[in-house]
């Protein structure tokens, strides 16, 4: 899984421009899926058929990552930009950017050398990207060109450090669960969604299409075990979170209990998750079409939405195991 | 004088009260379409059947509603309190003439005169504004206006050389463009024209239209704010007046389909129609709701740049308008199943 994670987190896929990620995932799932489809927004569906006795289950992980898009090229050839999804401005200074055409850039901010301004945090619009151009005319980036903050993945012990575990790690877990899922009573749609970071847009249309009975998102959640971390209990390495509630939804409590029971039966560590900020694709799938019983498996992730997000390999492995446990057994709600 | 723009911008249709616009549009299109109907929320949908060459189902959308106000007091002191419908900056309101309700009762939005106000009052954004209909007390208002009456700004369509000034170009310009498309030759595919309601208050009409029509492709025709007057150095305008219709890539509501963005750009280049990329960023059009109403629909928005957006006096370039209609027509005519087929 480490190799697949590296491949996926080093792929380009800001909201609305997920093609590269989709191609990679498609290659991975093709040998294991009974059916593969891509819809008009770019959601990828890999269907694993059940024996006919179970439910229609959607497992959603989003392919998109937060990114940026050029809004103006200055006379000197610097690129102004706006965010695609929630970029924390503090993470921008000195970050590297990769644009859709491969152009690399470095981010700085207006008045960067004025120490007096250091304690003020300028917005995204007061940053610019240097792509090595010297004028508007020779700047390879045009207004409307999308980009991402660029970093390679590094591994240190059990910790995987990468720029967009949110939510490529969910994609990895989905792919791996499909590979390991030998038999299932359910028709399981592994959905790799688009445009989550701009408002769970892909998942809504995907749920309208599939009309699942059960929808489970696999996404990251902020690990709170750092100095003055989030006011929640979520420790890196202590097992996947099982969603009780977040800002966008209340999980189906019967489903949440069933997920906990499956974890306990299989001896998989887990953490009940109550998240005060943010939500996942499950929120959209819960209320799309005729509605579904929705929940989420949440991978503890330190420094979410920064250039160096950190997950623990054990949590990744346990998330896959939990997902396979849930999917290979009956789901009675 | 562009009679179509004049007619369509001078009729009133504040969000939720689009009937007059719908009736006018119906009359303008009925001899040029194969079928038309109003749906439950008040959208006017028209079908122009295709030549049969293509099995695509294409929807083109423009919203009928305009920003405006709604009365929220009974006028016991002779003036009317109001709420805003759509995004309106209070700074643009005082001194404006309005028409209230079906009977178009005239009124003016008042403000403490400069003679009596302090410097501090004058430098603040006015709040607590009222509509004055010239009555002194409730009895005189009685019967003329009521709570929930819609209030539209009064502004007549005027052409000034290459530009035009008026209200509600957002989005009657889009409506006018669709009327022109419907009056033209048949397209290879069935074209559904959706004149939608309540865009300015949350895009309810487009959501319903998309859910019902279930198009394979949708093109939204909008009027897009142009803030291109002399301002700070070295910044891009959202759009520029006179630089051609704009094509949307990204806004707060929608990642416009990259394949369609490319398609519209290629049509513009092929037909030598000037165009601009609308600066990515805030704002939004019906495209998002159409895209996500049901099963994913590829969408793109083409906009007519309009200065002084969401005020009673916007300004457009008449050349831009011509090119806007031309670009919408060309891009639609060249649309095929291949345009939205994914290779992967
Ligand atoms: Zn996420
Ligand atoms: Zn509009």
- Residues 57-86, chain A: which have Cβ within 8 Å of B? 69-75, 80, 82, 84
**Nearest residue to A14 via CA among A305, A327, A326, A308:** A305
d(CA B327, CA B262): 13
Tokens of B311: 């005020």
Omega before B223 within 30 of 0, i.e. cis: no
What's the total number of domains in chain B?
2
Residues B248 and B139 in one domain: no
d(CA A210, CA A60): 12
Has residue B161 been placed in a domain? no
Q: What is the pLDDT of residues B80-128, one digit of tens each?
A: 999 999 999 999 999 999 999 999 999 999 988 889 999 998 899 988 8
Has residue B129 been placed in a domain? yes
**Nearest residue to B324 via CA among B176, B195, B191, B203:** B176
From B123, B153, B183, give the residue that closes a domain. Answer: B153
pTM: 0.93
Has residue B332 been placed in a domain? yes
**Interchain contact A19–B (C-beta under 8 A):** yes
Nearest chain B Cα distance for residue A1, angstroms: 24
Coil, helix or strand at residue B28: helix
Known catalytic residues of A are: 196
C-alpha radius of gyration, chain B, whole number: 21
Has residue B160 been placed in a domain? no
Give me the CATH number covering residue B174. 3.40.630.10
Residues B189 and B113 in one domain: no
pLDDT band at A116 (very low <50, low <70, confident <90, very high): low
Residues B9 and B102 in one domain: no
- Chain B residues with CB under 8 Å of A143 CB are 236, 277, 279-280
* Cβ-proximal residues to B232 (8 Å cutoff; 6+ apart), any chain: none
Please provide the average confidence, as pLDDT, over all residues in chain B: 95
Residues A67-149, CATH architecture: Beta Barrel (2.40)
Residues B209 and B143 in one domain: no
Concatenate the DSSP letters of all residues of B131-184 into one string. EE-S-SSHHHHTTT--TT-EEEE----EEETTEEEES-HHHHHHHHHHHHHHHS
Q: Could you report the predicted ipTM of this complex, rounded to two decimals?
A: 0.90
Give me the CATH number covering residue B130. 2.40.30.40
**Nearest residue to A234 via CA among A315, A320, A325, A322:** A315
Residues B182 and B331 in one domain: yes
Residues B180 and B61 in one domain: yes
Residues B193 and B312 in one domain: yes
Has residue B162 been placed in a domain? no
**Interchain contact B235–A (C-beta under 8 A):** yes
CB atoms within 10 A of CB A27: 12
d(CA A207, CA A56): 11
Has residue B184 been placed in a domain? yes
* Cβ-proximal residues to A9 (8 Å cutoff; 6+ apart), any chain: A153, A162, A163, A164, A165, A168, A169
pLDDT band at A124 (very low <50, low <70, confident <90, very high): very high
B291–A41 CB contact, under 8 Å: yes
**Interchain contact A23–B (C-beta under 8 A):** yes
From B153, B185, B200, give the residue that closes a domain. Answer: B153
Range list of H helices, chain B: 3-10, 19-29, 119-123, 138-141, 169-183, 204-213, 258-270, 287-292, 318-333
B282 → chain A, closest CA residue: A82
Nearest chain A Cα distance for residue B250, angstroms: 8
**Contact (CB, 8 A) for A172 and A8:** yes
Least confident window among A248-252, B107-111, B231-235: B231-235
pLDDT band at B77 (very low <50, low <70, confident <90, very high): confident
Has residue B123 been placed in a domain? yes
% pLDDT > 70, chain A: 98
Is residue B179's pLDDT more than 70?
A: yes
**Contact (CB, 8 A) for A278 and A247:** yes
- The structural domains of chain A, with segments of one domain joined by +, span 2-65+163-327, 67-149
Residues B92 and B171 in one domain: no
Has residue B18 been placed in a domain? yes
From B118, B153, B188, give the residue that closes a domain. Answer: B153
* B22: containing domain: 3-66+167-340
* Cβ-proximal residues to B327 (8 Å cutoff; 6+ apart), any chain: B244, B245, B264, B267, B268, B271, B273, B275, B302
The highest-confidence range among A106-110, B34-38, B145-149, by mean pLDDT, is: B34-38
Class for domain A2-65+163-327, per CATH?
alpha beta
């Amino acid at each position: 899984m480490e190799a697949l994670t590296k491949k996926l987190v080093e792929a380009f896929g800001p909201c609305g421009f997920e093609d590269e990620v989709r191609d990679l995932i498609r290659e991975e799932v093709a040998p294991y899926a009974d059916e593969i489809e891509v819809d008009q927004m770019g959601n990828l569906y890999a269907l694993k058929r059940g024996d006919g006795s179970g439910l229609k289950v959607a497992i959603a992980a989003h392919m998109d990552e937060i990114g940026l898009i050029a809004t103006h090229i200055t006379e000197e050839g610097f690129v102004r930009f706006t965010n695609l999804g929630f970029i924390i401005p503090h993470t921008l200074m000195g970050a590297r950017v990769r644009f859709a055409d491969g152009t690399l850039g470095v981010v700085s901010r207006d008045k960067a050398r004025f120490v007096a301004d250091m304690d003020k945090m300028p917005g995204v619009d007061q940053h610019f990207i240097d792509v090595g151009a010297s004028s508007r005319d020779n700047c390879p980036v045009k207004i409307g060109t999308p980009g991402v903050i660029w970093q390679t993945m590094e591994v240190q012990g059990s910790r995987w450090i990468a720029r967009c575990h949110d939510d490529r790690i969910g994609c990895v877990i989905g792919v791996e669960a499909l590979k390991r899922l030998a038999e299932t009573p359910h028709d399981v749609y592994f959905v790799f969604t688009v445009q989550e970071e701009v408002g769970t847009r892909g998942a809504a249309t995907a749920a309208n299409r599939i009309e699942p009975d059960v929808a489970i998102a696999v996404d990251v959640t902020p690990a709170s075990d750092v100095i003055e971390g989030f006011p929640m209990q979520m420790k890196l390495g202590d097992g996947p979170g099982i969603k009780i509630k977040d800002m966008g939804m209340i999980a189906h409590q019967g489903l949440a209990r069933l997920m906990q029971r499956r974890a306990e039966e299989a001896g998989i560590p887990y953490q009940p998750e109550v998240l005060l900020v943010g939500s996942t694709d499950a929120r959209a799938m819960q209320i799309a079409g005729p509605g579904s019983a929705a929940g989420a498996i949440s991978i503890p992730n330190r420094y979410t939405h920064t250039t160096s997000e950190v997950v623990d390999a054990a949590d990744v492995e346990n998330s896959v195991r939990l997902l396979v446990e849930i999917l290979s057994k009956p789901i009675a709600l | 004088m562009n009679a179509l723009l004049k007619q369509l911008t001078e009729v009133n249709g504040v969000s939720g009260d689009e009937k007059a616009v719908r009736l006018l549009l119906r009359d303008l299109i009925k001899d040029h379409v194969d079928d038309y109907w109003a749906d439950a929320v008040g959208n006017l949908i028209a079908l122009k059947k295709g030549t049969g060459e293509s099995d695509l189902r294409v929807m083109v959308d423009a919203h009928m509603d305009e920003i405006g106000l709604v009365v929220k007091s009974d006028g016991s002191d002779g003036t009317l309190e109001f709420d805003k419908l759509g995004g309106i900056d209070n700074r643009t309101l005082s001194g404006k003439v309005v028409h209230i309700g079906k009977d178009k009762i005239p009124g003016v939005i008042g403000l403490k005169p400069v003679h009596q106000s302090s410097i501090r009052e004058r430098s603040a954004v006015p709040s607590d504004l009222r509509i004055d209909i010239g009555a002194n007390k409730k009895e005189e208002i009685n019967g003329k206006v009521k709570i929930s009456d819609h209030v539209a700004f009064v502004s007549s369509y005027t052409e000034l050389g290459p530009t035009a000034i008026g209200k509600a170009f957002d989005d009657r310009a889009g409506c006018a463009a669709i009327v022109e498309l419907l009056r033209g030759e048949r397209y290879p595919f069935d074209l559904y024209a959706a004149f939608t309601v309540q865009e300015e208050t949350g895009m309810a009409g487009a959501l319903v239209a998309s859910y019902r029509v279930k198009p394979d492709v949708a093109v939204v025709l909008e009027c897009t704010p142009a803030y291109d007057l002399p301002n700070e150095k070295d910044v891009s305008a959202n759009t520029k007046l006179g630089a051609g219709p704009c094509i949307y890539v990204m806004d707060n509501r929608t990642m416009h389909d990259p394949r369609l963005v490319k398609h519209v750009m290629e049509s513009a280049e092929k037909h030598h129609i000037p165009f601009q990329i609308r600066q990515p960023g805030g704002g939004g059009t019906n495209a998002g709701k159409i895209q996500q109403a049901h099963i994913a629909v590829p969408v793109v928005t083409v906009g007519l740049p309009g200065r002084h957006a969401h005020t009673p006096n916007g300004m457009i370039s008449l050349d831009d308008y011509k090119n806007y209609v031309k670009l919408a027509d060309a891009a639609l005519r060249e649309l095929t199943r291949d345009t939205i087929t994914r290779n992967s």
